[in-house]
Amino acid sequence: MTLPPEPVPASSSAPDNAHAAVVASAAYCDGRRVADLPIAEAGAWAAKAGHFVWIGLWEPDEALLMEVKRQFGLHELAVEDALHAHQRPKLDVYGDSLFMVLRTARLENGELVLGETHVFAGRGYVVTVRHGASTSYSPVRARAESAPHLLKHGEDFIVYTIMDYVVDCYFPVLDQMAATVDELDALLIARPPSTAEIERIHQLRRDLERLRRNASPLLEVCSRLERFDLPMIDPAIRPYYRDVQDHVIRVNEQIGSLREVLSFAFETSMILASARQNDVTRKLAAWAAILAVPTAVAGLYGMNFEHMPELHWRYGYPAVLTLIAVVCAALYVRFRRMGWL
């Protein structure tokens, strides 16, 4: 799915409007947006006292990233990671700046779609680079701009709002998955799963594992932001990172819980299917034993021997029928008491 770029205000410069990879580029002072600016002027604005720049990019090419690197002095290893994407969620610290990789998640027509966001943050700037189906951060910018008393904290508050938004996007996905797991749980207990349902269970387990791989590393990222002394993190903002960490813990716990429920439901279904199969096997064995009696008697008296006294006995035929009926009835009663029939 191709994500449309965030609308750029009319006051934006022509180069930014012409470059679809630049979603937004704005300068802030005292918690308020004061200018929309081209990338070429971002470094100068970031160097102004009391100002910071927030830039949003979507799948930028190498030339654009190199320009951003030149404006803010970004570390070349971080820029290389942002250019090639497909990174594991992590936090790297380079002097007084940081580089963070986040993975977003959402459901499209019941299918899990993952995106990737790279965050550069340092004194006077925050740059987000989105790849793939990464969720748009227009709501994040709007939320931050609606709280100038918090936005005036600067870069560290923006990093918090981005992380909080990414983590909170996992909850709707998990809620829908939980509803699917509950539905499958009820079906698996009621009857053996169909081939389509087994494939659905397998896909759901794979999706939960993908979510776990993307959400689990965020615990370490949040822990470092909240506990360690990073140069750009204001102590007043640290409690907000603790709140994000609590959300990450909830996400991981919910993922683990859904995986356990799904595994337990599937194992229970297999046990029930095995029990049903054993029940059918016992019934077949019981009826085979009952039918073996007339088969054996008929086979015995069907032999072509000349001297078989019972064949000439007046009551031989009804006696044999009575014997067959009595033995079969006795076996039937016995198997019923055993629960085989």
- Note whether residue 266 is domain-resident: no
Return the pLDDT at 306. 66
Return the pLDDT at 3. 33
* Total structural domains within the chain: 2
* Helix ranges, the chain (H): 14-18, 42-47, 62-72, 76-84, 138-145, 148-151, 155-168, 170-190, 195-215, 217-227, 238-301, 316-338
Torsional sign, CA 81, 83, 85, 90: positive
Q: Are strands 90-94 and 32-36 parallel, antiparallel or unpaired?
A: unpaired
Return the pLDDT at 14. 31
CATH number of the domain bearing residue 133: 3.30.460.20
β-strand partners of 90: 101
User: Which of 99, 123, 147 is a domain's end point?
Assistant: 147
Q: What is the per-residue pLDDT across 243-301, written as a single tens digit (0 to 9) for each? A: 999 999 999 999 999 998 888 887 887 777 777 778 888 888 888 888 888 888 777 77
- Note whether residue 295 is domain-resident: yes
Residue recorded with tokens 């387990």:
205
Residues of the chain with pLDDT under 50: 1-19
Enter the tokens of residue 104: 């977003």
- Note whether residue 133 is domain-resident: yes
User: Which of 120, 147, 174 is a domain's end point?
Assistant: 147
Return the pLDDT at 297. 78
Residue recorded with tokens 């907000």:
240
- Note whether residue 67 is domain-resident: yes
Q: Where does residue 290 fall: left (phi above 0), alpha (psi -120 to 50 degrees), or beta otherwise?
A: alpha
- Note whether residue 121 is domain-resident: yes
Return the pLDDT at 262. 86
| Coil/strand/helix, residue 161 | helix
Return the pLDDT at 223. 85
Domain of 331? 281-338
- Note whether residue 304 is domain-resident: yes
Return the pLDDT at 304. 67
User: Which of 147, 167, 186 is a domain's end point?
Assistant: 147
- Note whether residue 248 is domain-resident: no
- Note whether residue 246 is domain-resident: no
